[in-house]
Amino acid sequence: MSTQPYVHTSVGPDRITIEFFHPSGNSLPGDLLAQLAAAIRDAETEKPPVILLRSAGDRTFCAGASFDELSSIEDTEQGLRFFSGFANVINAMRKSPKLVLTRVQGKAVGGGVGLIAASDHVVASRYASVRLSELAVGIGPFVIGPAVERKTGLSAFAKMSLTPDEWQTAEWAQQHDLLQEVFETGEQVDLYIEHLIAKWNSYSPEALTELKRVFWQGTDHWDELLTQRAAISGRLVLSEFTRSAIASFKNKA
């Protein structure tokens, strides 16, 4: 397995598989976010109706933002640019005419929860768990918030946002619609994914595309909204509280 970060796309007869990897818990620095958004947009021209989004490794789906990159942000413009990376990925997922089917094999933090929430269907193992950690470092899940709230409702989003140190289980995440199916093993996850993709490929592509539009009705303003949210995070990341919290976290790591 590669030790270098990557976003790989492979196109098969029934799916476009997009896999990402970073050695730091599949975290997402700015360059990987840009590659991921581009891969999702590029998939629009391919024939299969399904994007299978996955990460490498066994027990961590995505650790969210790169703390190294967060600590290097020096002004609001850099902050806006970094957090807009997450906005661009979420918007690419919602705008894609393809169904985005996401495989979750383990923990998801912050932006990783955003990827889950922006998916059309999520299949996970029992090792999946979710946490919105942003408040603990003085920010907040502003950019991913609309996607998470859309799936879970405001109350569950508020609970996750205000308990940044608490992991929510796969069972909790399924009960609150972040995960659609949860299985005991990775093998069962992959078997069910194969079943779903085969079924979806047997349906009308036009009907699937129209359903995707229906699923995301009412989000046409998200280009502007998520940019506004990215600006909030980009400002807060410069605070002394956040600088100190990120430095403390990195020293413990």
Domains of the chain (ranges; CATH) run 6-201 (3.90.226.10)
DSSP 115-158: HHHTSSEEEEETT-EEE--GGGGT--STTTHHHHHHHH-HHHHH
- The model's pLDDT over 40-50, given as tens digits with 9 standing for 90+, comes to 999 999 999 99
pLDDT of 250 over the 90 cut: no
Instruction: Give the model's pLDDT for residue 172.
Output: 98
**3-class DSSP state of 87:** helix
Band of pLDDT at residue 1, cut at 50, 70 and 90: low
